[in-house]
Amino acid sequence: MTKQNPLTNEQILEHVFELADEAGMTPDEYVHKLNSDYEQVRLKDREGLPESVIAELETARSLKKEARNSRIRAEKDEGIRKEVENFKQSFPEVRPEEIPESVWEQVANGASLVHAYAYHLIRNNRDSEYASKVNEENSSRSTSKTGDGETEPFFTKEQVEAMSPKEVAKNYNHILRSISKWHI
């Protein structure tokens, strides 16, 4: 018998979905049916065995399950340890309490900590650059230099509409210069 390469979790899941579909079931229903069928076979295999043997089989089964769960936990712990080490190497200046909740949400959805945090930095940098650009544009619109080095006010359309006739008359020249920047 030739040794087969172990299946990936994705391949296993895909196979379960295919088998469930062929059986006309959802994957959940299919897995529950497999468990039920397995229990039926176990019960049938134990028929006629002395109670002491059945108890030993159950003990062995429990120990095997505990060992499997322990191995799975150890693999997960090792994966987490590697993930944290990789993060520390990539971002040595970042303390865990500085990592935003949005990053942890991405990690909970399957992203690696390094990738989720890098995405967070990129997104924040873009937001900062955009905010800086908007602020710069707004500040260039909000005031302009007069010949004597002073800045003159800029009025938005909404501000002018809210002015009284007396305020419009007082700021008439500034309003005219502001209108040219309204992008109507």
Beta carbons of 175 and 160 less than 8 angstroms apart: yes
Average pLDDT score over residue span 116-140: 73
Average pLDDT score over residue span 117-141: 72
Tell which wins on pLDDT, 22 or 180: 22
Average pLDDT score over residue span 22-46: 93
Closest alpha carbon to 84 in 105, 104, 70, 60: 104
C-alpha to C-alpha distance for 35 and 6, rounded to whole angstroms:
22
Tell which wins on pLDDT, 1 or 117: 117
- Report the length, in residues, of the chain: 184
98-107, 110-119, 135-144: least confident range: 135-144
6-15, 58-67, 137-146: least confident range: 137-146
Full-model pTM: 0.46
Average pLDDT score over residue span 152-170: 84
